[in-house]
Amino acid sequence: MKGTQGIGVVELLIVIVVLAILTGITASGFQGTLDRRRAEGEAQDLWSALNRARTEAIMRDTRVTLCPVNDAGQCDADASWEDGWRMFEDPLALGYPTEDAAWIDGRGAAAVDIRPNAPVDTYVSYTSRGVPRRLTGALQMGSFRICGEAVAYRLVITSVGRVRLEEIAECPLAAPG
C-alpha cells in the first residue's frame, strides 16, 4: 500500500498538547462548579435546619435549640458550626441538652467554612412561638456566612425567626461581629 501515510510523531504530539490544554480548561471550570454546588448545598442544609428548628419549636410547643458540636458529637460552646450541629428540645433554656432531652436532628461536618456572628456563635434557640431568643430571653438575631472557594452565602435570622439565604460577594477573613 504505497502512498498511505500514517500520523507522524509531530502530529501526535500536537493532538496530545491540545487535549491536555482542553482537559485543563474543562477541569478548572468543573472544579468551580463543584465548589459552588458544595457551598450552596451546605448553605441550604443549614437554612433547612434553622427552619426546621423553628417549626419543631412551634409544633412541640417547647423551646428547640440548635448547637455546634465537637468531635464527639456533643454540644460545645467552643465547637465550630462547620464540625456539625445537633437539634434538641430545650424546655429549661439551658443551651445544651440534658440527659433526657429529645434529640430531633443532627448533622456531621461540613465541607466549607461556616462563620457565625456573635449572637449565634454558640447556639440558635427558638421559643415555642417560633421566635429566636437568647437563653436570657433577649432577642436573638444573627447571621452565618458560608464560604466556599468561589462563592459565599449569608443566612440571616430575622427578629421573627425567619431565615433568609442570600449570595454575597465574598467572605471576610474574620467572622462578622
pLDDT tens-digit map of 49-90: 999 999 999 999 999 999 999 988 899 999 999 999 999 999
Query: What is the tens place of the pLDDT at every residue in 33-54?
Result: 778 888 888 999 999 999 999 9
Residue 112 is assigned to a structural domain of this protein: yes
- Which is more confident, 4 or 156? 156
**Cβ distance 66 to 54 under 8 Å?**
no
- The domain that contains 58 carries what CATH number? 3.55.40.10
Residue 100's alpha-carbon distances to 73, 89, 120, 153, in angstroms, are: 16, 10, 24, 35
Q: How many domains does the chain have?
A: 1
The model's pTM is: 0.79
Residue 139's alpha-carbon distances to 40, 47, 78, 83, 130, in angstroms, are: 28, 19, 22, 26, 12
Q: Cα angle at 107 between 44 and 84, to 5 degrees? A: 95
Residue 60 is assigned to a structural domain of this protein: yes
- For residues 156-162, give the mean pLDDT: 96
pLDDT of 93 reads: 92
Residue 71 is assigned to a structural domain of this protein: yes
Residue 51 is assigned to a structural domain of this protein: yes
Residue 70's alpha-carbon distances to 80, 87, 96, in angstroms, are: 7, 14, 13
- Which is more confident, 105 or 164? 164
Expressed as residue numbers, the domain containing 115 is 33-168
Residue 132 is assigned to a structural domain of this protein: yes
Residue 174 is assigned to a structural domain of this protein: no
